[in-house]
Structure 1
Amino acid sequence: MKILLIEDEDRGARQALELFERAAPSSSVQIATSRDDALDAMDGEGFDLIVCDLRIPPSNSSADVDERHGLAVHAAARDSCPGTPIVFLTAFATKRNTRTQLSSGGTKQIYGLKDYPMVQLVEKGDMDEFEDLVSTLAQALKTVESSSELLAGDASDEMFLRAVKTYAHQINMSNAVIHTIAGGLSGAPLGRVELSSPQGGKANIFMKVVAFQDAVNERTNFEEFVPNRLQTGFFAPALSPITAGLRGQAALLSSLADGCVSLFHLLTQNPAVAAEAVKALKEATRPWIHASEPALMSLADLRRRRITDEKLAEALTFSGRALVCNESRTVEMKTSVCHGDLHGENILVTAEGRPILIDFGDLGLNVAPLDPVTLELSIIFHKAGPARSTDWFANAKWESWADLDIFVEGSPFELFIRECRAWSMEQDCANAVFASAYAHAMRQFKYPDVDKGITQAIAQSAYAAMSTSAPL
């Protein structure tokens, strides 16, 4: 257990450390001696428990010891460390309004403890109560960590592994197998998890661990755009998130059908079936088509949605800078609801060939061709893209990307590429598709594992195809 102790008196700190040694053996304790120390600590990393003397100074050099500084820690902790239990210690009678503020933390389920008070006030004279409180929390965490056997595969993020064990404990599963998924824009740890137990049968979920507020935003967008628009069976239904005990993060969970594989995997095994899955996904997402009038957008603004000027300047090759000089060109773009990160790892396919969308962190209104353009290019740009290991990849005519017949020549993924391109062209006019591809290709300059020559060639091809001037 990782504990932050905020205590300005040496004697109080020694007593607390002795108590932690008894109640939570092997815990890691960081000590802050003032409000400012505590705020710095909470801003830097997450904790499993925060213990704060209510009366503390604002800084190490100040003698202004007062409850208002402890309350400032309380307010900051609720913002920066949501889902982390807090214990306030006081040796003084506490005003009613102070108690009211401290009681606003509510209750959550944490480590299997239901309706656990997230903020508690303990008098310093009642150390038995304090020790019982710490011991209960530490034992609950220990129970969660030891209640299931985990085959983690490549998964290594500590809070992701804890979230898997927490959920397994919640549903009384004793075994969990993690199949990691190569993530996209967010870089958040995520994966498919198979859970089982001799008594409880089996369960399959998709799990993703992100910052608490990001989880709130993603869940809000999901509720707005997915279950009330898309047909059941084409997206992973959301389960109750884990919002406590993950050091300021939250775990988003979705249920999955057994036997799903990623679209990338399917592409390597049966490209024709993968292409049919793309066609099915196009039909399934028709309710996302947004009835908006096209709006003029410059290439610069479109590209800045994908990569900032500063990031691009750091990554551009000398010859690539000519592209940016031509970004004043405007294009009429339609708007649609978009998944926002539609690569082949974010589409799972059932044994029957039905595509299932997962990971909605970038869901929202965007330019209409974004999803199919991103999906097509993901076989090239994504680190798990199956095209990267083919002979075609080594010999492809990247400079002819916009000319579909030339580009797909010799590709084992021709059917898939054609299906994605047809979907793109249905979403908007050709100029809008090429502009979207230009912006998405330019975004790849910031990734060190993407070949900059390929990136530049595709961006140039897309630009030349939409331009009435001579190709760059």
Structure 2
Amino acid sequence: MNILIVEDDADFVEEIKSRVNALCRDPQYTVAENFESAKSLIESDFFDFIFLDLRLPTNTGSMDSDPQHGRNLLDISISHAPGTPVFMLTGSSAEQFLPEMMALSHQVDIWGHGKELSMIGFQPKHRINNLDEKIKPYLEAFDSVCEVEINANFELDIATSRLIRIFVASAGGVYCNVSRISGGLSDASVYKLQVNDGAGVRIHNSIAKIGLPSNIQDEVERHDRFISRLEPHATPRKVAMLVYGAKKTSGVFYSLAAASELNGFSFVEQNSIAIIDRLKSILLRWTDSAPQCRTTIRDIRRSFIDEESFQSVAGLIEHDWVERFEATSIQVKWGCVHGDLHGLNVLVSPDQIPVLIDYGDVGERPLSTDPITYELSVFFHPEGPYQQSDWPSDNTARNWGKPDFVDTECPSPDFFNNCRTWAEAVSVGKRERAAVAYSYLVRQLKYPGCDTRRINALLDGVKRLFDSA
């Protein structure tokens, strides 16, 4: 357990340590004696528990001890480590702050052991003998979570491992195999979890998405608003959202019916027809009810890449038609889409049933977004099967969106033909498909190491498709 003790009295620090040592299995201590050092540590380091004396000096050697400094540190903790419990060490001089600090506290199940604890605790310093009883439930709950064993062939950061352990413990598990599912190029990470109980029985096949609280909250809201409209078998069932116990990191956890090593990229060169047909089928509730509307290509592009980011990469586009192109109004089918349907966001069960994961981009856009994203992700996703391929040539790329794009050198004719016919089926026409492909391609320019030659060749094909309408 990583413990921060914010206290300028060395004897009192030792008193806290001796009491924690008697209750906690493996405590690791960091001591801050003043406001500035504590502020720096809270902002930069990871702690599972914070002891905070309210009356502190601003710096070492300063003679300005004041309970306001500790009160300010509490606000910093809530801001930079909202998932970390803080135990206030109070004296009579801090009484003025007690009502407002108590109002900030709330009861939550921090470490998934089924019992709620206060996120802000209080202990008068002159009654230190009562500290053991108050902190014992926290330390026991944390030690219980640490009994969960994680097996991963890569390094997990401490916040991620904490959240995974909390989830496993809350589900009644003791052992978890963790494998990484690439989160693409987003800020959050996606993992596959296989959770076993004490008898070695598999009790969960799960997907975890872990990231900043704002990103996870956004994903959960999109799930509840849009994903819930789909058939239950189209997506995993949401089982938990964890926002405590890991400083400023949160996670949402979904339950899979069955584990599988297959994904949407696994079928690019074989059986793509069946997978694409099933993807079309599970998205019918979104596509069937979508109306048509009028919008500009610029507004479509802004749904993929914002104006500031676009302007920073616009110089990489080798075409002079972009400004006129973006100003054009077109007819589109506008409805709910996944928004980031690359191959790794499509998990495929052993009986070849696709399941959609990662809902951070779910929302309303042109309906051809999903088939076009799936198709082009084979070139631009970090694990896309054709990221390093010499196909298509520049000349072939200029036929994108047309049957001629699939030439004699095409490595997967069925895949590209069926992605095109899927996009044709859900779009108004060629101009919508061109606008969506344009938006997807220019977004790729913001990622370091993107293949600008390929992007510009495909953009030429996009414009030719648009002009053919």
Please give the residue correspondences for 1:313-392 in structure 2 after superposition, counting only pairs within 5 Å.
Answer: 314-315=312-313, 320=318, 322=320, 324-332=322-330, 333-388=332-387, 392=391
Q: Structure 1 residue 377: deviation in Å?
A: 0.8
> 2 CA distance for matches of 1:327 and 1:62?
64
Match of 1:157 in 2: 157
After superposition, the C-alpha distances for 1:89-116 in whole angstroms (9 at most, x for unaligned) are 1121764872464254222223344212
Amino acid at match of 1:429: G
Inter-CA distance 327–77: structure 2 relative to 1 (3 Å threshold): farther
Which deviates further from its counterpart, 63-72 or 216-225?
A: 63-72
Amino acid at match of 2:372: V
Question: Is the contact between residue 442 and residue 456 of structure 1 (CA under 8 Å) also seen in structure 2?
Answer: no
Q: Structure 1 residue 443: deviation in Å?
A: 1.0
> 1 CA distance for matches of 2:73 and 2:466?
55
Q: TM-score, normalised by structure 1?
A: 0.85
Inter-CA distance 353–129: structure 2 relative to 1 (3 Å threshold): same
Match of 2:109 in 1: 109
Q: Percent identity?
A: 23
Question: Is the contact between residue 399 and residue 464 of structure 2 (CA under 8 Å) also seen in structure 1?
Answer: no
Q: Of 280, 299, 308, which residue of structure 2 is paired with 1:282?
A: 280
> 1 CA distance for matches of 2:417 and 2:165?
42
Q: Structure 1 residue 207: deviation in Å?
A: 0.8
Q: Structure 1 residue 451: deviation in Å?
A: 1.4
Is residue 459 from structure 1 mapped to residue 459 from structure 2 by the alignment? yes
Inter-CA distance 96–26: structure 2 relative to 1 (3 Å threshold): closer
Q: Structure 1 residue 200: deviation in Å?
A: 6.0
Match of 1:193 in 2: 193
Please give the residue correspondences for 1:289-304 in structure 2 after superposition, counting only pairs within 5 Å.
Answer: 289=287, 291-299=290-298, 301-304=299-302
> 1 CA distance for matches of 2:231 and 2:110?
34
> 2 CA distance for matches of 1:371 and 1:63?
63
> 1 CA distance for matches of 2:196 and 2:380?
35
Secondary structure of the 2:238 match is coil
Secondary structure of the 2:336 match is strand
Question: Is the contact between residue 183 and residue 190 of structure 1 (CA under 8 Å) also seen in structure 2?
Answer: yes
Secondary structure of the 2:419 match is helix
Match of 2:120 in 1: 119
Inter-CA distance 239–208: structure 2 relative to 1 (3 Å threshold): same
Is residue 424 from structure 1 mapped to residue 423 from structure 2 by the alignment? yes
After superposition, the C-alpha distances for 1:239-289 in whole angstroms (9 at most, x for unaligned) are 022222112212211110224344335325x622x3322222222212224
Which deviates further from its counterpart, 312-321 or 423-432?
A: 312-321
After superposition, the C-alpha distances for 1:174-205 in whole angstroms (9 at most, x for unaligned) are 33222211112423221111122462621201
Inter-CA distance 4–431: structure 2 relative to 1 (3 Å threshold): farther
After superposition, the C-alpha distances for 1:396-429 in whole angstroms (9 at most, x for unaligned) are 8223223333245433332222222222222333
Inter-CA distance 68–408: structure 2 relative to 1 (3 Å threshold): farther
Is residue 207 from structure 1 mapped to residue 208 from structure 2 by the alignment? yes
> 2 CA distance for matches of 1:394 and 1:97?
69
> 2 CA distance for matches of 1:328 and 1:389?
30
Runs of 5+ consecutive residues of structure 1 not aligned to the other structure: none
Inter-CA distance 457–89: structure 2 relative to 1 (3 Å threshold): same
Amino acid at match of 2:277: K
Please give the residue correspondences for 1:60-99 in structure 2 after superposition, counting only pairs within 5 Å.
Answer: 66-92=66-92, 95=95, 98-99=98-99
Which deviates further from its counterpart, 303-312 or 120-129?
A: 303-312
> 1 CA distance for matches of 2:187 and 2:277?
28
After superposition, the C-alpha distances for 1:199-227 in whole angstroms (9 at most, x for unaligned) are 26212011111112322222122111122
After superposition, the C-alpha distances for 1:339-365 in whole angstroms (9 at most, x for unaligned) are 221111111112222211111122222
Amino acid at match of 2:223: F
Q: Structure 1 residue 129: deviation in Å?
A: 3.8
> 1 CA distance for matches of 2:328 and 2:193?
45
Q: Structure 1 residue 29: deviation in Å?
A: 1.8
Question: Is the contact between residue 400 and residue 465 of structure 2 (CA under 8 Å) also seen in structure 1?
Answer: no
Inter-CA distance 362–215: structure 2 relative to 1 (3 Å threshold): same
Amino acid at match of 1:422: T
> 2 CA distance for matches of 1:107 and 1:452?
52
Amino acid at match of 1:406: F
After superposition, the C-alpha distances for 1:288-319 in whole angstroms (9 at most, x for unaligned) are 246444132243x4334433455445556666
State the superposition RMSD in angstroms: 3.3
Match of 1:219 in 2: 220
How many residues are aligned here? 463
Question: Is the contact between residue 87 and residue 119 of structure 1 (CA under 8 Å) also seen in structure 2?
Answer: yes
> 2 CA distance for matches of 1:326 and 1:61?
65
> 1 CA distance for matches of 2:405 and 2:270?
19
Amino acid at match of 2:151: L
Q: Structure 1 residue 66: deviation in Å?
A: 4.8
Question: Is the contact between residue 3 and residue 48 of structure 1 (CA under 8 Å) also seen in structure 2?
Answer: yes
Q: TM-score, normalised by structure 2?
A: 0.86
Which deviates further from its counterpart, 389-398 or 338-347?
A: 389-398
Question: Is the contact between residue 103 and residue 119 of structure 1 (CA under 8 Å) also seen in structure 2?
Answer: no
> 2 CA distance for matches of 1:155 and 1:420?
36
Amino acid at match of 1:48: D
Question: Is the contact between residue 32 and residue 41 of structure 1 (CA under 8 Å) also seen in structure 2?
Answer: no
Q: Structure 1 residue 146: deviation in Å?
A: 3.2
Inter-CA distance 108–440: structure 2 relative to 1 (3 Å threshold): same
Secondary structure of the 1:110 match is coil
Secondary structure of the 2:126 match is coil
Q: Structure 1 residue 120: deviation in Å?
A: 0.5
> 1 CA distance for matches of 2:449 and 2:200?
43
Inter-CA distance 395–247: structure 2 relative to 1 (3 Å threshold): same
After superposition, the C-alpha distances for 1:332-391 in whole angstroms (9 at most, x for unaligned) are 244211222111111111222221111112222233322222111111110111223656
